[in-house]
Amino acid sequence: MADRGAVELSTEPVINLGCHGPARLMAGVREYGRLDLWAQTKVYGEPVPIPLPALVDLATQIRLGGRGGAGFPFARKLDAVVKSSHRRGLPAIVVVNGTEGEPAACKDKMLLSMVPHLVLDGAVLAASALRSPELIVAIADDGVAEESLLDALEERRGTSMPTRVVMVPHRFLSGEAGALVRGINGEPHIPPGRKVRASDTGVGGCPTLVSNAETYAQLAVAAAIGPREYAQIGTDEEPGTVLLTVTGAARRPAVIETPTGTPLKEILRVCGAPTGQGVLTGGYHGTWITPEDAGQAEISRRGFEEVGGSLGAGIIVPLPDNTCALGEVARVTHYLAAESAGQCGPCRLGMPEMAQLLTGILSGGTSPEAVRALCAAMRGRGACSHPDGSSRFVLSALEVFADDVNAHLYHHGCGRPVRGVLPIPEGPDEPGAGRLSVDWSSCDGHGLCAHILPELVRLDENGFPTIPDGAVPSWLEPQARRAVDMCPTMALRLGRPTH
């Protein structure tokens, strides 16, 4: 498997594909483009079923961790599903999580678009070892990987196990395991609101193995080349390669495959990305690191943790010098608040409050200590990990961008515009995409809107409403409409943004 250059993936926006080091997951893409079944077999060989004990041993030997965020050991997941299946006398179900609702990521969509059979081969290995009655592949309804996946299943017709494709909403929480299982089961596609392990009760109430697309692709590569060759590159603790999505300040944004242990500065150089004001690692539930730490970091879970970063789902976003760092963080925080399920206090009240407090810092009227106190009060109290992950993103930003925070607090701003470098989806034509606004020529400061909609509306020192610059969460839209309808002067508006 030789080094290769970059090719283009047909997504919007177009992003390059490349390797820095030996190609494992992307082997053959330069020669064949998208690998159909013939090309897949030519590059990786014919997959051979592996008995369950040997598959667990393979995953253990290569130290395979989940590539969707938490990095949970795949072998332990397998073992938990097996034990639950035996204890309850129910079949095990295997789910490929290809939803990738994180706006700054597209590595799983790249895999399903360019090497779909590699993902399917890994998933079939697991499903066959567990004797699953079917394989389920969940993808977002954004249309990016759908055609490639359906073509791959058609190419495999009659030669592989029954496979069902489930389309889920393209939302931030779509990839959360509990939300994904609920969606597959025909329930609302939101987290269950209580801790439920898919390995105990998942699809149809059966023990369920849920892992993301890259995890299964890595398993297929290891099965094809063997654990010894797999561990020839990477670190001893985390052998093999990882996929990274590099955007932000990068002149050549890319999904890039590289061995673990590679210096982060090398990947940034390849992508033409200066470290700028700081680098976001791990996505919107990850953490920011300073330019100095980015120059020292090595790409692995441990390597990022040593500098306060997070590998997460392999997201790397350097922030350029020409945008307002705090404004970028506030934009994303409003988006995260709107994407919550609204099932618990931290999501219903804490997340919108956090977004408003950040907006208050931008205008110089709020102390960062108020944000830190709110995050401390929310810690560990959410019905899912969304509030804690979002708090981690915000708290690290307050540390890394301390100079920017001080500029807004004490010097009337940083002087830079908010350029929208951090990607968030533009408001779709669906509930939850509306934004509140006030007609100041009519508003008399009655304050009724703040009583009806305290999650979003605050009153300033003069009793007039302050409205966050972000989409109204879908779960708050009925209350927002009630506030609009009850405004005595009809000054409050709820409408779609214009672009």
Residues 368-409 pLDDT 10s = 999 999 999 999 988 888 999 999 999 999 999 999 999 999
pLDDT tens across 428-472, in order?
434 445 788 898 888 988 888 888 888 778 787 788 888 876 677
Say whether pLDDT at 346 is over 70.
Answer: yes
The answer to whether residues 438 and 481 touch, using CB atoms and an 8 Å cutoff, is no
pLDDT at 427: 52
Per-residue pLDDT band for 475 (boundaries 50, 70, 90) equals low
- The model's pLDDT over 273-312, given as tens digits with 9 standing for 90+, comes to 999 999 999 999 999 999 999 999 999 999 999 999 999 9
What is the structure's pLDDT at 422? 94
Assigned architecture for domain 241-313: Roll (3.10)
Query: Residue 6: pLDDT above 50?
Result: no
- Name the residue ranges covered by the structural domains of the chain: 23-230, 241-313, 325-410, 435-495
Q: What are phi and psi of 409, to 5 degrees?
A: -75, -35
Percent of the chain with pLDDT over 90: 65
List, in order, residues 6 or more apart from 249 with CB less than 8 Å away.
273, 274, 276, 318, 319, 320, 421
pLDDT tens sequence across 143-196: 888 999 999 999 998 777 899 999 998 888 888 899 999 999 999 888 887 778
More confident residue, 338 or 112: 112
* pLDDT value of residue 433: 54
pLDDT digits (tens, 9 = 90+) for 24-59: 999 999 999 999 999 999 999 999 999 999 999 999
Is the previous residue joined to 91 through a cis bond, with omega within 30 degrees of 0? no
Residue 13: pLDDT band by 50, 70, 90 thresholds? very low
Chosen CATH of 23-230 out of 3.40.50.720, 3.40.50.11540, 3.10.20.740, 3.40.50.1370: 3.40.50.11540
Instruction: Choose among 317, 335, 321: nearest CA to 404.
Output: 321
Task: Please give the pLDDT value at position 135.
Answer: 96
- pLDDT tens column, 113-123: 999 999 999 99
Q: Is the pLDDT of residue 474 over 90?
A: no
pLDDT, average across residues 48-73: 92
Sign of CA dihedral 161, 166, 172, 178: negative
- Is the CATH number of domain 325-410 1.20.1440.230? yes
Give me the amino acid identity at 491: A
Higher pLDDT, 338 or 267: 267
Q: How far apart are CA 423 and CA 295, in angstroms?
A: 24
Closest CA to 467 of 437, 446, 443: 437
Of all helices (H) and strands (E), which one includes residue 95? strand 93-98
Residues 6+ apart with CB under 8 A from 39: 28, 31, 32
The whole-chain average pLDDT of the chain stands at 89
CB-count exposure of residue 486 (10 Å: 0-12, 13-18, 19+):
middle
| 435-495: in CATH 3.30.70.20 | yes
- The whole-number average pLDDT for the span 101-112 is 92
- The stretch 243-251 carries a mean pLDDT of 94
| 491 to 307, 441, 463, 484, 497: CA distances (angstroms) | 49, 8, 14, 8, 17
Give the rounded percent of residues in the chain with a pLDDT score beyond 70: 94
